[in-house]
Amino acid sequence: MSTTLEAAIFLSMNGKAKEAVDFYKKHLNAEERLLVTYEDMAKRDSSLQLTDENKHYISHSVLSIGKTKVMLAEDTMDGKETYTVGNNTSLCIQSADLEEIEHFYKSLTTDDRVRVIVPLSANVFSKAYGIIEDPFGIQIQLMYDERLQ
Protein backbone atom coordinates (compact mmCIF):
# COMPACT_ATOMS: atom_id res chain seq x y z
CA MET A 1 0.00 0.00 0.00
CA SER A 2 1.09 3.53 -0.71
CA THR A 3 1.81 6.05 2.00
CA THR A 4 -0.89 8.34 0.58
CA LEU A 5 -3.79 5.92 1.00
CA GLU A 6 -6.57 7.17 3.25
CA ALA A 7 -10.23 6.53 4.00
CA ALA A 8 -12.66 9.27 4.90
CA ILE A 9 -16.29 9.46 5.93
CA PHE A 10 -18.49 11.01 3.22
CA LEU A 11 -21.87 12.49 4.13
CA SER A 12 -24.59 13.48 1.65
CA MET A 13 -26.70 16.24 3.16
CA ASN A 14 -29.77 16.68 0.91
CA GLY A 15 -29.38 20.42 0.38
CA LYS A 16 -28.11 21.14 3.88
CA ALA A 17 -24.35 20.70 3.43
CA LYS A 18 -23.49 24.35 4.19
CA GLU A 19 -25.62 24.21 7.34
CA ALA A 20 -23.86 20.97 8.36
CA VAL A 21 -20.40 22.45 7.69
CA ASP A 22 -21.23 25.44 9.88
CA PHE A 23 -22.68 23.16 12.59
CA TYR A 24 -19.57 20.93 12.73
CA LYS A 25 -17.25 23.94 12.72
CA LYS A 26 -19.17 25.50 15.63
CA HIS A 27 -19.76 22.43 17.77
CA LEU A 28 -16.87 20.07 16.92
CA ASN A 29 -14.13 22.61 16.16
CA ALA A 30 -13.98 21.27 12.62
CA GLU A 31 -11.47 22.96 10.34
CA GLU A 32 -12.67 23.71 6.81
CA ARG A 33 -10.01 22.42 4.41
CA LEU A 34 -11.92 22.67 1.13
CA LEU A 35 -15.30 23.97 -0.02
CA VAL A 36 -16.43 23.84 -3.67
CA THR A 37 -19.89 25.10 -4.65
CA TYR A 38 -21.95 24.10 -7.67
CA GLU A 39 -21.12 27.53 -9.07
CA ASP A 40 -17.40 26.74 -8.73
CA MET A 41 -17.89 23.37 -10.45
CA ALA A 42 -19.85 24.94 -13.31
CA LYS A 43 -16.70 26.90 -14.21
CA ARG A 44 -14.99 23.53 -14.85
CA ASP A 45 -17.98 21.59 -16.19
CA SER A 46 -20.37 23.55 -18.39
CA SER A 47 -22.92 20.70 -18.38
CA LEU A 48 -23.79 21.42 -14.73
CA GLN A 49 -27.22 23.05 -14.57
CA LEU A 50 -27.11 26.06 -12.24
CA THR A 51 -30.17 27.67 -10.71
CA ASP A 52 -30.54 30.47 -8.19
CA GLU A 53 -31.48 27.78 -5.67
CA ASN A 54 -28.53 25.42 -6.20
CA LYS A 55 -25.61 27.68 -7.19
CA HIS A 56 -24.49 27.99 -3.57
CA TYR A 57 -24.97 24.29 -2.84
CA ILE A 58 -21.81 22.43 -1.92
CA SER A 59 -20.45 20.08 -4.55
CA HIS A 60 -17.65 18.93 -2.28
CA SER A 61 -16.17 19.95 1.05
CA VAL A 62 -13.55 18.55 3.38
CA LEU A 63 -13.44 19.15 7.11
CA SER A 64 -10.88 17.99 9.63
CA ILE A 65 -12.25 16.94 12.98
CA GLY A 66 -9.13 16.16 14.91
CA LYS A 67 -7.17 13.74 12.72
CA THR A 68 -10.25 12.55 10.83
CA LYS A 69 -11.41 13.87 7.47
CA VAL A 70 -15.13 14.26 6.94
CA MET A 71 -16.35 15.07 3.44
CA LEU A 72 -19.75 16.60 2.78
CA ALA A 73 -21.83 17.30 -0.33
CA GLU A 74 -25.48 17.79 -1.17
CA ASP A 75 -26.29 14.69 -3.20
CA THR A 76 -26.34 10.94 -2.64
CA MET A 77 -23.74 8.90 -4.52
CA ASP A 78 -26.37 7.22 -6.69
CA GLY A 79 -28.34 9.96 -8.43
CA LYS A 80 -31.17 7.50 -9.13
CA GLU A 81 -31.81 7.07 -5.40
CA THR A 82 -34.08 9.27 -3.35
CA TYR A 83 -32.31 10.68 -0.33
CA THR A 84 -33.05 8.77 2.87
CA VAL A 85 -31.13 8.46 6.09
CA GLY A 86 -29.04 5.37 5.45
CA ASN A 87 -28.03 6.11 1.86
CA ASN A 88 -26.45 9.41 2.86
CA THR A 89 -23.13 7.99 4.02
CA SER A 90 -20.32 6.38 2.10
CA LEU A 91 -16.69 5.51 2.45
CA CYS A 92 -14.22 7.47 0.31
CA ILE A 93 -10.97 5.65 -0.42
CA GLN A 94 -8.39 7.93 -1.99
CA SER A 95 -4.74 7.81 -2.88
CA ALA A 96 -2.09 9.72 -4.82
CA ASP A 97 -1.15 6.35 -6.33
CA LEU A 98 -3.27 5.92 -9.47
CA GLU A 99 -2.38 2.23 -9.83
CA GLU A 100 -3.56 1.57 -6.29
CA ILE A 101 -7.01 3.07 -6.97
CA GLU A 102 -7.26 1.15 -10.25
CA HIS A 103 -6.25 -2.06 -8.44
CA PHE A 104 -8.93 -1.59 -5.76
CA TYR A 105 -11.61 -0.92 -8.39
CA LYS A 106 -10.64 -3.96 -10.48
CA SER A 107 -10.51 -6.15 -7.38
CA LEU A 108 -13.88 -4.98 -6.07
CA THR A 109 -15.63 -5.36 -9.42
CA THR A 110 -14.50 -8.99 -9.81
CA ASP A 111 -17.03 -9.86 -7.09
CA ASP A 112 -20.42 -10.31 -8.81
CA ARG A 113 -22.19 -9.03 -5.69
CA VAL A 114 -20.67 -5.57 -6.19
CA ARG A 115 -22.86 -3.03 -7.99
CA VAL A 116 -21.12 -0.37 -10.07
CA ILE A 117 -22.79 3.01 -9.61
CA VAL A 118 -20.20 5.12 -11.46
CA PRO A 119 -17.53 3.31 -13.48
CA LEU A 120 -13.95 4.33 -12.70
CA SER A 121 -12.96 7.05 -15.16
CA ALA A 122 -11.45 10.52 -15.43
CA ASN A 123 -13.59 13.56 -14.73
CA VAL A 124 -13.10 17.28 -14.04
CA PHE A 125 -11.67 16.72 -10.55
CA SER A 126 -9.78 13.43 -10.78
CA LYS A 127 -7.90 11.23 -13.25
CA ALA A 128 -9.77 8.27 -11.73
CA TYR A 129 -13.06 8.37 -9.83
CA GLY A 130 -15.72 5.72 -9.41
CA ILE A 131 -18.42 4.55 -7.04
CA ILE A 132 -19.45 1.00 -6.20
CA GLU A 133 -21.84 -0.55 -3.69
CA ASP A 134 -20.43 -3.49 -1.78
CA PRO A 135 -22.41 -6.66 -0.91
CA PHE A 136 -23.35 -5.11 2.44
CA GLY A 137 -25.00 -1.99 1.00
CA ILE A 138 -22.03 0.32 1.68
CA GLN A 139 -21.28 2.74 -1.12
CA ILE A 140 -17.56 3.20 -1.68
CA GLN A 141 -16.03 6.04 -3.64
CA LEU A 142 -12.59 5.41 -5.12
CA MET A 143 -10.58 8.46 -6.09
CA TYR A 144 -7.12 9.31 -7.29
CA ASP A 145 -6.07 12.56 -5.61
CA GLU A 146 -2.62 13.89 -6.47
CA ARG A 147 -2.90 16.48 -3.65
CA LEU A 148 -2.25 13.68 -1.14
CA GLN A 149 1.43 13.41 -2.16
Residue 53 has a pLDDT of 87
Q: Which CATH class is domain 5-148?
A: alpha beta
* Residue partners of 140: CB distance under 8 A and separation at least 6: 90, 91, 92, 93, 108, 131, 132, 133, 134
What is the per-residue pLDDT across 16-61, written as a single tens digit (0 to 9) for each? 899 999 989 998 789 999 999 999 989 988 888 889 988 899 999 9
Contact status, residue 129 vs residue 36, Cβ threshold 8 Å: no
Task: Report pTM.
Answer: 0.74
Is the pLDDT at 87 greater than 80, yes or no? no
Strands 31-37 and 6-12: unpaired
Q: pLDDT tens, 91-120?
A: 899 999 999 999 999 999 999 989 999 999
d(Cα 94, Cα 43) in Å, to the nearest integer?
24
What's the rounded mean pLDDT across residues 60-81? 85
Provide the pLDDT confidence category of residue 135 given band limits of 50, 70 and 90: confident
One-letter amino acid at 131 equals: I
- pLDDT at residue 85, rounded to an integer: 67
Positive or negative torsion for Cα 39, 116, 14, 61? negative
